[in-house]
Amino acid sequence: MEPTTLFSENNPTLFSVEMNVDIADFLQCAFQALRKDPGILDAITNDLDKYALEKKHERLAEAEWIKKQTMSLGLDCQDTGSAKKLTLGTGRPRMSAEEVYLFVLIRGYFSSVTDRQACERIRDSITIRAFYENHYPGKSIPARSTIHGNIQSVSMETRERILALQMGMVLEEGLDDFKEITMDSTAVRANSVWPTESGIIRDSLERAFHRSQQLNRRYLVPNLMPWFVTQWLKEIRKSHFAISTASGKGANRKRRKEYQRLYKKAGKAISHLRSELAKHRERHFGAILKPALQARLRRDLSSIDEALDTAEEVIAYSMERICNGKSVPYSEKVISLSDGSASMIIKGDREPTIGYRPQLCRSRNGFVTALKVPEGNAADSPQLYSMVMESIQNTGTVPEKVSADDGYSSAEGLGQVRWVPGIFHVSLSGSKGKRLMTDDEWFSEELSELRRNRSAVESLMFVLKYVFNFGRVRRRGIHAVRTELMEKAIAYNFMRIVHFRRERLKQIPLAS
């Protein structure tokens, strides 16, 4: 079945009235893209179907479990059909692929579709309301939980397809030829607080204890016996506060004393909770629960174990630092409890950041042609070739000139890029890059110009961070962070297209 689009010969625009506002031009540009690649709607539909099949599988598994419980009572029960190949039938109406596409872009534009400020901006927007009235008569903007559930099912591959579609639009309209690209990385803050050893120990134990006291309410299995854990946690919190506020003469001695108290109480809490887990393990894993609840129970028990492991790990390297004066590298430390994939990002002489280090390619006219978010605090040098190839894949164009800073300098990466047919000039600024080139290459007019123009990538970083909130992510986990940053880059590219269209209109002379 062919996907429907929002445009027709009789209705070439999104809105029945002219709207000279950024969000209107943004949506107009975004939905014009669908005319160039309507297959994006098919990709979104496939993503929604895949998500719906996963949910159906969970429902059938629960029905099968209920059937087995009923059969154990000697009662007849109809076949649930769970052994058959799963297909989607006619269920409750869901958001169309076009609406999901719309809200994927809106989330990139507003950075969220669930927090209060974003919801108020969306629902108070005359533009978005006019869009719905014009194209979905009788429909209102869905609830935020509905929007969030649907756009979460859209795959990263679909988002990357939207980015590639933008590059096609730019080429078609002559806004850029992608013959020159500049790459750089930047530090992005995670949705996490700055880590301290005492704070991580405290939070890990509080998380483990809290979940251990919710087991009976959630799953009707025994909670772990609290014993003196409540009192120990209270004393751990006091020690953490004293460590955090110690200052002046004798502060180090006071911190060391409080840390030793904290280690002692934390060790007691860990020992007790582990013994309680072992004591109740058979009853916990033998509980008769629906499959979904059984999976959640196992996840909660696993999270208790992991929290205790984390506390023990931090205590071990904290004792090495406090008692023996031996420091542990950041790569071996626990950086965040809320986002386990966040890392300590140290870039040059800048202030360290807890978060991620995305890699971006910028075209001559300021479009994001490629975006990657490596795991951890990945070095720039191994990313040079892969980023160039990512840009070529998205744009369909081999750049003649490639520019990067000294962090990308490596003989291997430079050699790989130079072997790509069509790339004539590769500039790596800085002393390491200079050592990889001959004097004739380094002082040539082409590379000198690329080095002078390399700072233009900083304007891209500035706009992304301070206009599209690229500098701090709201979501947690590497997959969620990648989708969030990709959505923001897509929103930026559409607004960049809008900017160039407006500039062209200004150059058209008015009719006399």
Only one residue has tokens 């795991």, namely 375
Query: What is residue 248's predicted lDDT score, i.e. its pLDDT?
Result: 87
Query: What is residue 430's predicted lDDT score, i.e. its pLDDT?
Result: 86
Domain 171-191+343-507, classified CATH 3.30.420.10, yes or no: yes
Only one residue has tokens 């807890």, namely 354
Query: What is residue 512's predicted lDDT score, i.e. its pLDDT?
Result: 44
278-328 confidence digits (pLDDT tens): 999 888 888 888 888 889 999 999 999 999 999 999 999 999 999 888 888
- pLDDT greater than 60 at residue 81: no
Query: What is residue 422's predicted lDDT score, i.e. its pLDDT?
Result: 93
Query: What is residue 364's predicted lDDT score, i.e. its pLDDT?
Result: 93
- pLDDT greater than 80 at residue 507: yes
Query: What is residue 345's predicted lDDT score, i.e. its pLDDT?
Result: 87
- pLDDT greater than 80 at residue 27: yes
- pLDDT greater than 70 at residue 18: no
Only one residue has tokens 């200079």, namely 434
Only one residue has tokens 């499959």, namely 291
- pLDDT greater than 60 at residue 1: no
- The domain segmentation of the chain, as residue ranges, is 22-154, 171-191+343-507, 197-332
What are the distances in angstroms from CA 168 to CA 161, 183, 454, 493? 11, 20, 24, 12
476-485 confidence digits (pLDDT tens): 999 999 999 9
Query: What is residue 3's predicted lDDT score, i.e. its pLDDT?
Result: 40
- pLDDT greater than 70 at residue 97: yes
Strand order in the sheet with 425-428: 368-372, 359-363, 180-185, 401-404, 425-428
Query: What is residue 244's predicted lDDT score, i.e. its pLDDT?
Result: 92
Contact 178, 423 (CB under 8 A): no
Q: Which residue has the higher pLDDT, 65 or 393?
A: 393
374-416 confidence digits (pLDDT tens): 988 888 989 999 999 999 999 999 999 999 998 899 999 999 9
Secondary structure class of 184 (helix, strand, coil): strand
The per-type count for the chain, helices as H runs and strands as E runs, is 19, 8
**Torsional sign, CA 426, 432, 437, 442:** positive
Region of residue 11 (phi > 0: left; psi between -120 and 50: alpha; otherwise: beta): beta
Query: What is residue 13's predicted lDDT score, i.e. its pLDDT?
Result: 53
Query: What is residue 78's predicted lDDT score, i.e. its pLDDT?
Result: 52
The burial of 470, by beta-carbon neighbours within 10 Å (0-12 exposed, 13-18 middle, 19 or more buried), is given as: buried
Give the whole-angstrom CA distance, residue 391 versus residue 157: 15
pLDDT band at 2 (very low <50, low <70, confident <90, very high): very low
Q: Which residue has the higher pLDDT, 120 or 208?
A: 208
pLDDT band at 84 (very low <50, low <70, confident <90, very high): low
Write out the DSSP string of 128-160. Answer: HHHHHHHHSTT--PPPHHHHHHHHTTS-HHHHH
- For residue 402, the cross-strand partners are 181, 426
The burial of 72, by beta-carbon neighbours within 10 Å (0-12 exposed, 13-18 middle, 19 or more buried), is given as: exposed
**Average pLDDT score, the chain:** 87
What DSSP designation does 472 have? B
Query: What is residue 417's predicted lDDT score, i.e. its pLDDT?
Result: 93
- For residue 344, the cross-strand partners are 354
Give the whole-angstrom CA distance, residue 208 versus residue 306: 8
Query: What is residue 85's predicted lDDT score, i.e. its pLDDT?
Result: 64
- pLDDT greater than 90 at residue 347: no
CA atoms lying within 13 Å on the CB side of residue 111: 16
The number of beta carbons lying within 10 Å of the beta carbon of residue 46 is 14
Rounded to two decimals, what is the model's pTM?
0.88
- CA–chain centroid gap for 480, Å, is 3
- For residue 428, the cross-strand partners are 404
Mean pLDDT, rounded, for 367-378: 92
Region of residue 355 (phi > 0: left; psi between -120 and 50: alpha; otherwise: beta): left
